[in-house]
Structure 1
């Protein structure tokens, strides 16, 4: 982020107005000339003008000291006129010192052939470049006498700003060699820092060193692309490198904010400001990268540079404030960026001829960047050492507190152990008392159950006698009143017998009387016994598929079938029959379906039908205990089966499945 911002500042300062155009006159002592003061500019808004159109237009204006047009869709034509004195060198190299220019074309006029074109730039394959160098460069020959006019056409998606230089070939080669050495040292330093802090990040987990690694890697790749080294050695076209560079520039907004916040310890000293800063930087990254994708490189990167400039000024302001308040990391942070700015300033002063050209001034930017990275490394290490010292103090304090705590706990453990020993002794005595009470309760319960079983057995004999006598009276063809009374007697006797069966079956299912004892039983015998308790014709039996036998507890299954049949008959219209359908279910299981044509069961009552003591609205006013269907479900579960119901306006169907796998 800082690199792009300060490079932008460099180009801006170098673009300040200069004197009017002067003719360039070469002499034998010249080896390097800056061409901007001797050039004029013509803008081609349509981008379609040819060299002949430009020559005929004659509408150029003097160029400023540094060629800087910013982001523009215009094609820019630069006119350079060179006159040589006797004895001046003939061969020269014209360099456009910007590696990310997309289309650069040089036109020179030859008396015999007319205008000749040389092409270079990122959109031109490297094999067609006249000089294999990181920047567009052209070989020109001034052997013919008289003034020589050259036209330089530049069009680019990137910001158009460059130095136009004329070099003697040997000086150009020496300068390129020195430049590659300087950049090699710079990139080597960057790579060393990246590797060191990557391992440091992995080994320590210190998050700021991680952001610093990402920051340095981002800066390194920006320089590799901006200075043309990546394109020179890989041949990647401008369309690809533009998108990569745009992503790096836009992401540097977010990366720089996260790194600066970590170095300045903003999450600790200014947590709210830290959230605002990181949030704004994150939003800036997404907005600018979206603009690059939708509107193009210039729209997104231009806004990213504005946001980056604002962010840097804001962070420098925060750093200055914190440094004034005695915050040590802020002072180191300002020192790191101060060295970087000093390198930029040296380069600017050299471009304005305020400092002589030499290795130090030519590479002031690189030297400032290296010093910046070294001081930033010192900042990170200082922060890590401070954190390590704080962690050591915290650990020592923790050990002291732990020792005091252990001593306190030892005393408390002894107290609690004595208290627990007393409590265990007390609870053991209570357990003995409870076991004795439980044995007494079990004995009382068993005596109660034995009494209930005895009473129920004793009740069955008189009830059977009452029922038999009532049947005999009915067999003598008595009067209508006597028949009605005998029927009431039989119904009361039957209801009493059924209630006793339900309550005794419930106790048995709960395991109070004896264990569940299934065995193989004939299906027809079970069905006949269940149907025989009702008048002939009131129940219709159908075998869909006749099973031979079923593994069941006969008594419990009889109770379940009787309850289902009684429930169906009770809720059926008079003179209608109930259907009992038997079928095989999944090989070994048996399915009993009891269908009646009674009223539809309300939907809200269906989930409650098999609950204990539940009686629906249709059963209100009729005798019953609410245990019938509950017993059916318990019997089904004991037999590894299930019971369900479907009800509609045509009637209801209860399905009892016994013996599922």
Structure 2
């Protein structure tokens, strides 16, 4: 009870501002609500000016520090810690996000001065322990307030999420993060390999587009969360920043064609689909400008492209659901999860306050869940395409069988007509020959029989023409017009 009275007196004796943080039994605590801010856009202020008040007053922050996207700039954060009896004297300060370029902590010394420690992606050697984010050791004295100053400087998205940990909490937190990130990267790697193999085997473009989006998005997470700088490019902070900006543009560029394809946006909103694909190309150009031209303030609009594509995708998914599409509900769920992860990022770009859980870990969780849901969506779409192809192949086989049956029937008909043609031509030839012989063997009464012989020859010729026009192999097809009733060769008819 006594120490609570002492703490209250200490709090009342401090100047107005953010409330000091009393450490009493906690193992891990965020400094949100205990921070004060002093802007330093040009980076010209020193600790002497800041601590003495010559640089201007600090203003309390309602939560963590977020300043959105913009050019290279800095900011000072101030916080006060009060220890209590029975709490550890050594604490660890982790400053998220991992991509911050320069992070400096100023600790008060017994002589009244300040002890500086540097960290961040530009000074990874300043971390007392291997970690993906800026890490500092703090000493807290029981019942004695100690004020610390934190300086952060970065281009593009400037934010700071300081969190205090005891030694045991630090190791548990780092181990838990390693497990979660390992699971996330494992999911990404497995999905990339599976969809790459599917594309190689099935040649369905949707698998290739999804694999590219997974690859670029996973690589962006790897860079933005500090793992690339921690393990591979340890001494190349500028290269890490450039890779992060390039991967941001490539992620959005791969997102646009994939979303428009998986949602069939070309059929629902063709102009909107072309606009989304155009934004993807603009994102690549902007990323190149940011990485090599130094205009890193373009990061905010580029991130807003992803949110716009997500909103367009949600509108398309709702239309698909309304139309009764088989994957309508799944598509709506995918887009809602995607926007729930992209939303905090957009709020951060605008400089609005968001929680550390939503801005950092929430994005990774929703991204992993989005990947899994997208994989099921792609698989369901490919299964639908495969079923449609199988049905088309079955219809083609049925059509081929019908054609073959028709051909067989036509061959049988042709054979029958050829036989009928032969059977009719033969007796007609016999009749004509017999009439000719009889005509030559006539004993002189030709005048009486000539007219009858002519009638026989005319009838035979008429039947021959009928058979030729109707049954000859050359004439099979559309029916020909029948000959007229007149005789041939000027011969008359038998009465």
1:140 to 135, 138, 141: 138
Q: Name 1:81's counterpart in structure 2.
A: 80
> Quick check: 1:200 aligned with 2:161?
no
CA separation of 1:367 and 1:289: change in aligned 2, threshold 3 A: closer
CA contact (8 A) 2:77 2:151 kept: yes
Deviations 1:79-111 (A, max 9, x none): 112122333320000111110000111111111
> Quick check: 1:372 aligned with 2:370?
yes
CA separation of 1:225 and 1:352: change in aligned 2, threshold 3 A: closer
> Quick check: 1:41 aligned with 2:37?
yes
Whole-Å separation in 1 of the counterparts to 2:149 and 2:162: 12
Normalised to the residue count of structure 2, the TM-score between the two structures is 0.72
1:36-115 map, 5 Å:
36-56=32-52, 57=54, 58-72=56-70, 73-112=72-111, 114-115=113-114
Whole-Å separation in 1 of the counterparts to 2:250 and 2:50: 40
Deviations 1:462-502 (A, max 9, x none): xxxxxxxxxxxxxxxxxxxxxxxxxxxxxxxxxxxxxxxxx
Between the two proteins, the alignment pairs up a number of residues equal to 393
CA contact (8 A) 2:223 2:240 kept: yes
CA separation of 1:191 and 1:37: change in aligned 2, threshold 3 A: same
Whole-Å separation in 1 of the counterparts to 2:110 and 2:17: 29
CA contact (8 A) 1:211 1:258 kept: yes
Q: Name 1:239's counterpart in structure 2.
A: 238
CA separation of 1:216 and 1:102: change in aligned 2, threshold 3 A: same
Q: Name 2:122's counterpart in structure 1.
A: 123
> Quick check: 1:253 aligned with 2:252?
yes
1:52 Cα offset (Å)? 0.8
Q: Mark the runs of 5 or more structure 1 residues left unpaired by the alignment.
A: 1-18, 420-661
CA contact (8 A) 2:313 2:335 kept: no
CA separation of 1:211 and 1:182: change in aligned 2, threshold 3 A: same
1:305 Cα offset (Å)? 1.1
1:189 to 182, 187, 190: 187
CA separation of 1:382 and 1:180: change in aligned 2, threshold 3 A: same
CA separation of 1:76 and 1:311: change in aligned 2, threshold 3 A: same
Whole-Å separation in 2 of the counterparts to 1:392 and 1:141: 70
CA contact (8 A) 2:310 2:335 kept: no
1:134 aligned counterpart, secondary structure:
coil
CA separation of 1:178 and 1:286: change in aligned 2, threshold 3 A: closer
Whole-Å separation in 2 of the counterparts to 1:305 and 1:78: 26
CA contact (8 A) 1:264 1:330 kept: no
Q: Mark the runs of 5 or more structure 2 residues left unpaired by the alignment.
A: 1-15, 348-352, 419-495
CA separation of 1:271 and 1:407: change in aligned 2, threshold 3 A: farther
CA separation of 1:30 and 1:100: change in aligned 2, threshold 3 A: same
Whole-Å separation in 1 of the counterparts to 2:50 and 2:115: 14
Greater CA drift, 406-415 or 47-56: 406-415
Q: Name 1:24's counterpart in structure 2.
A: 21
CA separation of 1:75 and 1:229: change in aligned 2, threshold 3 A: same
CA contact (8 A) 1:182 1:366 kept: no
Whole-Å separation in 2 of the counterparts to 1:311 and 1:408: 53
Whole-Å separation in 2 of the counterparts to 1:362 and 1:153: 20
Whole-Å separation in 2 of the counterparts to 1:43 and 1:180: 34
2:241 aligned counterpart, secondary structure:
helix
CA separation of 1:167 and 1:286: change in aligned 2, threshold 3 A: closer
1:118 aligned counterpart, secondary structure:
strand
Deviations 1:333-392 (A, max 9, x none): 2212334556789999xx9899xx9xx999655443333222211111111111111111
1:147 Cα offset (Å)? 2.0
Whole-Å separation in 2 of the counterparts to 1:234 and 1:294: 21
Whole-Å separation in 2 of the counterparts to 1:175 and 1:344: 24
1:112 aligned counterpart, secondary structure:
coil
Query: Larger Rg: 1 or 2?
Result: 1
Whole-Å separation in 1 of the counterparts to 2:206 and 2:354: 39
Normalised to the residue count of structure 1, the TM-score between the two structures is 0.55
CA separation of 1:335 and 1:161: change in aligned 2, threshold 3 A: same
CA contact (8 A) 1:44 1:76 kept: yes
1:401-440 map, 5 Å:
401-409=399-407
1:176 Cα offset (Å)? 1.1
Bigger relative CO (Cα 8 Å, ≥ 6 apart): 2
Q: Name 2:158's counterpart in structure 1.
A: 160
Whole-Å separation in 1 of the counterparts to 2:306 and 2:83: 46
Whole-Å separation in 2 of the counterparts to 1:179 and 1:293: 29
RMSD: 3.3
1:410 Cα offset (Å)? 5.2
Deviations 1:50-98 (A, max 9, x none): 1112112252111230110123433211111212233332000011111
CA contact (8 A) 1:246 1:300 kept: no
Whole-Å separation in 1 of the counterparts to 2:113 and 2:359: 41
1:455-466 map, 5 Å:
none
